[in-house]
Structure 1
């Protein structure tokens, strides 16, 4: 531990780092005094004027921090998880929890997306209704409300019922299910339905994280390839 402290002190208190630090500190001090004198000449030199200058400086500092943080967030490159995104589908089944991942999943499949089925609970029904309003060009039936969010069988039956009543001339390949939202039991139920429907597709919309913390945004959906679909793909590649 003492060696580490010694290394830090040694690296800081050397001409290569100390001299530029002192020059920068002196420059900022002179610049700060000059700006302070200018503000006093313009605003005044009383105690109330000094308070106004201090408050204004704090406000400007907070604004600059916010501006820099916003620019860093908007300029961050999209994270690459090394996973492939699903191709754009005409139909999408969503488990509705937070609005952000649902919106990201929908936008990924635009403009090819035509239908979107929303499975939600009574607590997330308002989110589903808002998604209906925000995507007026899509055909979004009335949200399907799950009675027991901890029953994977109910989820499975609801998803399979959607697959059994697809629009005319649609096949299972035209539709994909996103199991990101709601409960773990809901994700299990949707996966079971996908397995039972054989060639149905699955995707997951992961949350974006920075330094181990969630940002509140979502990344592009990831295609989940089950064992049966992998085997089918391998056979198709062998035939080709």
Structure 2
């Protein structure tokens, strides 16, 4: 690929990621504000369930933009966002799918807890909301499923009410498909040096945007079917280090 073309694709990838981030967080920030505004003092469960769903989708979007590496052990800035290296300094950085799932569960839990801490609607009215149990189980496969068992109390003065329930919802994101493609790309880099097989990419039923900048290859994967909601499709982005930037792309 010629240098001019590389720069153009590099810029396109950066723009796509920025647009997705802005659209997603604008949409769900508005939804959360509306949810709090429409909440009522009889039903703190509704706000908790909104937290679970919104933070689940936001966390899942971030997981894709970070290429499955939620902690971003190695990354490079692309505009205002950081892209995870899944292969860096001749070492594979991509974890197993189970390790990704486990780290993601912790990340999701932290985000839900932060959302719960913002239950200002109830505290402003003199109510104390305490979450007694919050146990999430997440599956990352051909779909992403969230199952959460929870219990909470709403207290004002000497009066306390216990709420208990479980929530199950599924997001139509084929995460295992993205993971398999990324894992194979990393394998090609590890076993074949700087070579990336375009024929393999074409066979994966994925829309692949790729650009080389210096010693880094950037990938943006979409399958056209995985979506976070009706307005936002799913994107999986990552980088691999290929060396001095002179490798042949086949």
Q: TM-score, normalised by structure 1?
A: 0.24
Give the number of the structure whose residues are more often strand, by fraction. 2
Q: TM-score, normalised by structure 2?
A: 0.24
Larger radius of gyration: 1
Give the number of the structure whose residues are more often helix, by fraction. 1
